[in-house]
Amino acid sequence: MLRRSCESTVATCYLLGVSTRRMEKLVESLGITRLSKSQVSIMAQDLDAQVAEFRSRPLDQGPYTFVAADALVLKVREGGRVVNVHALLATGVNADGHREILGLQATSAEDGAGWLGFFRDLTARGLSGVRLVTSDAHAGLVAAIGATLPGATWQRCRTHYAANLMAATPKSSWPWVRALLHSVYDQPDAASVHAQFDRVLDAVAEKLPKVSEHLDTTRADVLAFTSFPKEIWRQIWSNNPSERLNREIRRRTDVVGIFPDRDSLIRLVGAVLAEQHDEWVEGRRYLGLEVLARSRVTAVPDTATNTNTNRGGDLDRHHPGAQRLTEPEDHAAVVTHHASGLDPDRLDPEPVLVGLDVVEDYLLGRSSSAAKKADADLRMAFARRSSEPHAPAPPAASHRRSSCPAWCRCRSRPASPSHATSPG
């Protein structure tokens, strides 16, 4: 009975991060005069069954809309030498809005094979419905996300990205580059975020071309959070919410220093994670149900009226000019004439209609070869039509001033047969 009580006491102290030296003073009252780290690990083996059950439990509380992945490097003694072992961790937000510890694995290296096996285990246990995964830019991790979670978007952690960008920026320029980068995240909505990112690119393009290229290349990954409601941006644009968990793990593992084997590492870290998991599940919701429901809705463009794509192949829904693409098609020519510098005063009662892709390219400031060719074709068609005599338009098809949009110049010109006012 005394032995069982002693082992239970040591296991509890081990889990709480109490040092071996302090444990020795505690168990002296139980008749133990010497307590080594190996003995502590042996006494704590009762935790193994609990940890194994926790790590293999089914993930049946989905969909797990948001997932965060990270890794910690810990020291383990193997083969008579001390090696670095990577503890792969994943957390997620379940259907009820609570955070969960999804999994833990120990691997020799944080490579693609390790992350791929980790995510395959998660999906086999039931991980589903993932819309966004937040992590650093480790190549193996990003590839594993794409291979195992089709349909999930990857958000590059803004904290890790700032460190990566700092490495590519001259030391003297980093303070103002960092201020510019932070200004992107301070915007009130998605359109403003993208507009500010454009201004940042313009600001650094001439003086720091490498920094500009770095920003432009990573734009889609760094700004992936803008596809989701503003209220949860702080929770999903970085791994910072997981830092408190990482600090707690460090506090417990620093007491051990060097683990005698991988089983002892899994035992301690797994027990800490299981404890934290219970606190999260019993605590308040991390995200509200209403915002979670909105986060699962996919914005699909209306392909019947708009089939345009940006350089990446997806509709640029967050660009400040994108909302203008929903204007009626019968005004597309007018918008295009304004964008391409043609004189709107020369428009005839039946303006030249062009595809909305031309309108989109000019509204979004693109200069693709396709847009240039479309503009040239438009100019030729407009010039050809302007030089041809027009038959009088029937009254029903006349361009009436009252039906023009507010920005049409016909409202500022005297009435003409082609701009007849409405009767009465």
Instruction: Specify if 385 maps to a domain.
Output: yes
Q: DSSP secondary-structure letter at 238?
A: S
Residue 302: the pLDDT is 44
Euclidean distance between CA atoms 356 and 325, whole angstroms = 7
> Under 8 Å CB-to-CB from 131, ≥6 apart: which residues?
65, 66, 151, 152, 153, 228, 295, 296
Domain annotation covers residue 17: yes
Residue 218: name the closest of 139, 310, 155, 150 by CA: 155
Task: Out of 224, 239, 264, pick the residue that ends a domain.
Answer: 224
Within-domain flag for 407: yes
378 lies in a domain? yes
61 lies in a domain? Answer: no
| Residue 336 included in any domain | yes
- Domain total of the chain: 3
Question: Which pLDDT score is estimated for 397?
Answer: 43
Partner residues linked to 106 by β-bridges = 87
Backbone angles phi, psi at 389, to 5 degrees: -70, 145
**pLDDT score of 346:** 42
pLDDT of residue 95: 94
pLDDT of residue 353: 43
**String of DSSP letters for 57-79:** ----S----EEEEEEEEEEEEET
- Output the pLDDT for position 326: 35
- Domain annotation covers residue 127: no
Cα 143 to Cα 141: distance, rounded to the nearest angstrom: 5
Q: CA-CA distance, 351 to 338, in Å (whole number)?
A: 13
Print burial letters for 174-187: b (CB count within 10 Å at least 16), e (below 16): beebeebbeebbeb
**To 5 degrees, how large is the angle CA 90–CA 92–CA 94?**
150
Interatomic CA distance for residues 293 and 167, integer angstroms: 39
Closest CA to 321 of 365, 264, 375, 266: 365
What pLDDT does residue 335 have? 37
Contact (CB, 8 A) for 145 and 135: yes
pLDDT at 388: 55
424 residues of the chain, pLDDT tens digit each:
445 455 555 555 555 555 555 555 555 555 555 555 566 556 666 678 889 999 999 999 989 999 999 999 999 998 889 999 999 999 999 999 999 999 999 998 888 899 999 999 999 999 999 999 999 998 889 999 999 998 899 999 999 999 999 999 999 999 999 999 999 999 999 999 999 999 999 999 999 999 999 999 999 999 999 999 999 999 999 998 888 899 989 988 888 888 888 988 998 899 999 999 999 999 999 999 999 999 987 644 444 444 443 433 343 434 433 333 333 333 333 333 333 344 444 444 334 444 445 445 544 454 555 556 656 665 666 566 555 555 454 444 444 445 454 445 454 445 544 444 444 4
Domain that holds residue 367: 322-419
Q: How far from each other are the two terminal CA atoms of the chain, in whole angstroms?
A: 103
Last residue of a domain, one of 176, 194, 224: 224
| Domain final residue pick, 176, 200, 224 | 224
Query: Is residue 274 one of the residues assigned to a domain?
Result: no
Number of helices (H) and strands (E), helices first, in the chain? 17, 6
